[in-house]
C-alpha cells in the first residue's frame, strides 16, 4: 500500500519528524493491525506510520496532510484490540502513532491529578506515581495496563475504581485541529489558567466530550484525576448460581449502587466468560461443534464454582466503612438462593504489595498484563456493547436477544459482561470468540455481531463503542429525526475539518468528500 502515498509527501513528513520516524514498509505497518483480523484480510491497511514526538510535530504532520489531502488515522498506543486496533477506517490512510509522546507532565499530590501525553500507558502512570514518591495516590485502571490513558478515554473505555464511573476522571485537553492550530478546552482557554485540569467546564459550551469517539482533532495532552489510597480495600466476588436469578442480581446491584454501598464499576460476567480461564473448560468450548447446552453450562458453572453469572466488585475507604459495606453487600446478596460472596481479605494501605490476583490488582489501581495469559494467542474476539437500563427486565431482554443470535447465527455461546458504569445504566460488553486463522469462523463472527447491532437497535439499545468494521452500521441505528444527530456532527466535521483529513469514518462521522449518500 505504500505506493498510495506520493514520495514527495513522504519526504515532507520525514523532514518534519525525522526519516527514521516515517515507516512505509509492510512489516512496519503490520505492527499497527488488530491481531484479531484474519491474516489475509487487508481491508483496513495503512500506507505509512508516523511517530511524532511532540505537539509541535503533530501540528506539522497535520499541516502537511491538510495541504495534500492525505487522510490521517490517529492512535495513542493502538491497543484497542477487538475493536479494530489501530487500523484505519479508510484503506491507505497514514497512521499517526503517538507512542513516542510518553511523558507524564505533572503529578499534583495535594489536588490528586496528573497531566499526561497520549503515549503514556496505565503502567507508565502507575510507575510514575511509585517513582515520584506519590504513595498516597492511585489511578483507576482497566483490565490491561498496556493501553493509553488518553486513548482509552477517547474511546470511552471502562476503568473500575470510583473515578471510573462514566467519564469522571478526564479533565482539560490540549487538541491539535485539522488546520494545525492548537486548542485548549475548558479553563485551559484562559492563558495561564490555574484550574485547567481541576474544573470540568469553563465559560460557555463544554468542548471536551466533542473529542471523545470523534474525528474533530488530535488530543495531545489531558488531565486525569487520581484517587487517595484508602485505609482499607476489600475485593469481592459474588456468584449467581442459576441463570434465572440474573434479574434478581441486577436489581440488588442497582440498589447497592444507589445507596452508595458499591461505588466503583462492578462487572458481572457469564459462565462462558468466567470459565474460559480454566484450560480444560476452554478446550471443551473449542472442541464443541455447536453452542453448549444449558445443562452443559450449568455443569461447568457448578464444577468450577464461578456460577452462571459472577460479579467482581470492591469496597474502598476507612476500615470501619469497608467492613460495614461488605456486611451490607453480603446481607443483600444472601437473598439470591444458593449464592456466595467470596471475601478472602481486606487489605490495609501498606499491604498493596501483597495483592497477587490480577482482578484484585486492577480494583486496587495496579495495572498489569496478567489477563493476556488466560486466552491463547490464536483466539480473537469481536465486541458489541449496548447500553442497557439497570433493571432486571431490560438486562434479560438484551441477554436473551444476543444469546439467541449468537447460537443461531454463529453456533457458539456468546461472552458477556455487565459493566455497571452508573447507578442507572450498564454496558453489556458482549461478543464472540473465534480462531483468527479460520477465515470462515472470522467472517461468521463479524456477520453475527452486525446482526446483533441491528436487532438490538430495533429494540432501542444502542452500541456505546463500535468496532471499526461496523461503525457505520452502529451509527445508522441512531436515526431519530431522520438522523438529526448524524447531520449535526457532520456539520461540525465539515466546519472544523473541511478537507476531511482527520480519521474519516470514525464512529460513522464522514467528511462531505467521502459521504456516499
Quickly list DSSP for 49-91.
EE---SHHHHHHHHHHHHHHT--EEEESS---TTTTTT--SST
CA separation for the pair 241, 339 (Å, rounded)? 6
Q: Which residues contact 197 (CB under 8 A, 6 or more apart)?
A: 113, 115, 171, 172, 188, 223, 224
Quickly list DSSP for 268-318.
EEEHHHHHTTSHHHHHHHHH-SSPPPHHHHHHHHHHHS--SEEEEEEEEES
Q: CA gyration radius for the chain?
A: 23
Q: Which CA distances in Å does 115 have to 30, 52, 165?
A: 31, 19, 19
Active-site residue among 113, 347, 461, 464?
464
Half-sphere exposure of 304 (CA within 13 A, CB side): 26
What single-letter DSSP state applies at residue 502? B
Look up 464 and say whether it is catalytic: yes
Active-site residue among 33, 99, 254, 465?
465
Give the rounded distance of the alpha carbon of 431 from its chain centre: 14
Look up 465 and say whether it is catalytic: yes
What single-letter DSSP state applies at residue 99? T
Active-site residue among 32, 44, 83, 224?
83
- The C-alpha cell 459482561 sits at 417
In terms of Cα–Cα distance, which of 83, 96, 85 is closest to 219?
96
Residue 40 has phi, psi (to 5 degrees) of -90, 0
CA separation for the pair 480, 356 (Å, rounded)? 48
Is there a contact between 411 and 292 (Cβ–Cβ < 8 Å)? no
Is there a contact between 324 and 298 (Cβ–Cβ < 8 Å)? no
Q: What is the largest CA-CA distance in the chain?
A: 70
Is there a contact between 151 and 77 (Cβ–Cβ < 8 Å)? yes
Is there a contact between 114 and 104 (Cβ–Cβ < 8 Å)? yes
Helix (H, G, I), strand (E, B) or coil at 335: coil
CB atoms within 10 A of CB 344: 10
193's enclosing H/E stretch is none
- The C-alpha cell 450498564 sits at 426
* Catalytic residue IDs: 83, 464-465
Amino acid at each position: 500500500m505504500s505506493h498510495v502515498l506520493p514520495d514527495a509527501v513522504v519526504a515532507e513528513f520525514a523532514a518534519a519528524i525525522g526519516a527514521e520516524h516515517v515507516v512505509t514498509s509492510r512489516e512496519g505497518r503490520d505492527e499497527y493491525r488488530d491481531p484479531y483480523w484474519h491474516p489475509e484480510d487487508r481491508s483496513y491497511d495503512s500506507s505509512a506510520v508516523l511517530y511524532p514526538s511532540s505537539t509541535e510535530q503533530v501540528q506539522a504532520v497535520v499541516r502537511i496532510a491538510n495541504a495534500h489531502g492525505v487522510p490521517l488515522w490517529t492512535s495513542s498506543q493502538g491497543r484497542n484490540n477487538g475493536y479494530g486496533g489501530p487500523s484505519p477506517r479508510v484503506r491507505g490512510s497514514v497512521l499517526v502513532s503517538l507512542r513516542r509522546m510518553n511523558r507524564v507532565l505533572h503529578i499534583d499530590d495535594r489536588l490528586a491529578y496528573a497531566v499526561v501525553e497520549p503515549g503514556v500507558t496505565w503502567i507508565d502512570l502507575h510507575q510514575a506515581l511509585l517513582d515520584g514518591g506519590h504513595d498516597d495516590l492511585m489511578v483507576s485502571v482497566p483490565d490491561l495496563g498496556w493501553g493509553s490513558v488518553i486513548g482509552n478515554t477517547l474511546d470511552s473505555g471502562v476503568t473500575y475504581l470510583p473515578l471510573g464511573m462514566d467519564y469522571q476522571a478526564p479533565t482539560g485537553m490540549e487538541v491539535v485541529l485539522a488546520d494545525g492550530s492548537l486548542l485548549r478546552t475548558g479553563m485551559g482557554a484562559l492563558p495561564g489558567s490555574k484550574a485547567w485540569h481541576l474544573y470540568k467546564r469553563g465559560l460557555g459550551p463544554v468542548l471536551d466530550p466533542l473529542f471523545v469517539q470523534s474525528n474533530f482533532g488530535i488530543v495531545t495532552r489531558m488531565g486525569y484525576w487520581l484517587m487517595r489510597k484508602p485505609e482499607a480495600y476489600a475485593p469481592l466476588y459474588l456468584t449467581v448460581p442459576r441463570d434465572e436469578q440474573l434479574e434478581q442480581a441486577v436489581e440488588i446491584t442497582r440498589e447497592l449502587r444507589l445507596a452508595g454501598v458499591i461505588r466503583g464499576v462492578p462487572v458481572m460476567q457469564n459462565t462462558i466468560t468466567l470459565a474460559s480461564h480454566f484450560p480444560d473448560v476452554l478446550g471443551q468450548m473449542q472442541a464443541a461443534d455447536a453452542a453448549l447446552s444449558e445443562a452443559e453450562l450449568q455443569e461447568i458453572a457448578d464444577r468450577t464454582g464461578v456460577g452462571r453469572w459472577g460479579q467482581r466488585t470492591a469496597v474502598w475507604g476507612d476500615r470501619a466503612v469497608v467492613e460495614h459495606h461488605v456486611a451490607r453487600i453480603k446481607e443483600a446478596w444472601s437473598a439470591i438462593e444458593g449464592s456466595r460472596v467470596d471475601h478472602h481479605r481486606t487489605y490495609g494501605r501498606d499491604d498493596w504489595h501483597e495483592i497477587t490476583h490480577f482482578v484484585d490488582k486492577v480494583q486496587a489501581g495496579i495495572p498489569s498484563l496478567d489477563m493476556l495469559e488466560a486466552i491463547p494467542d490464536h483466539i480473537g474476539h469481536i465486541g458489541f456493547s449496548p447500553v442497557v437500563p439497570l433493571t432486571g427486565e431490560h438486562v434479560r431482554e438484551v441477554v436473551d436477544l444476543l444469546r439467541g443470535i449468537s447460537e443461531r447465527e454463529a453456533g457458539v455461546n456468546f461472552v458477556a459482561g455487565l459493566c455497571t458504569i452508573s447507578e442507572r445504566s450498564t454496558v453489556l460488553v458482549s461478543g464472540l470468540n473465534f480462531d483468527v486463522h479460520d477465515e470462515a469462523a472470522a467472517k461468521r463472527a463479524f456477520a453475527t455481531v452486525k446482526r446483533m447491532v441491528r436487532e438490538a437497535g430495533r429494540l432501542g439499545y444502542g452500541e456505546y463503542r463500535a468496532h471499526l468494521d461496523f461503525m457505520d452500521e452502529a451509527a445508522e441505528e441512531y436515526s431519530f429525526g431522520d438522523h438529526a444527530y448524524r447531520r449535526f456532527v457532520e456539520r461540525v466535521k465539515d466546519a472544523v475539518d473541511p478537507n476531511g483529513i482527520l480519521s474519516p469514518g470514525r464512529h460513522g462521522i464522514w467528511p462531505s468528500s467521502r459521504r456516499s449518500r
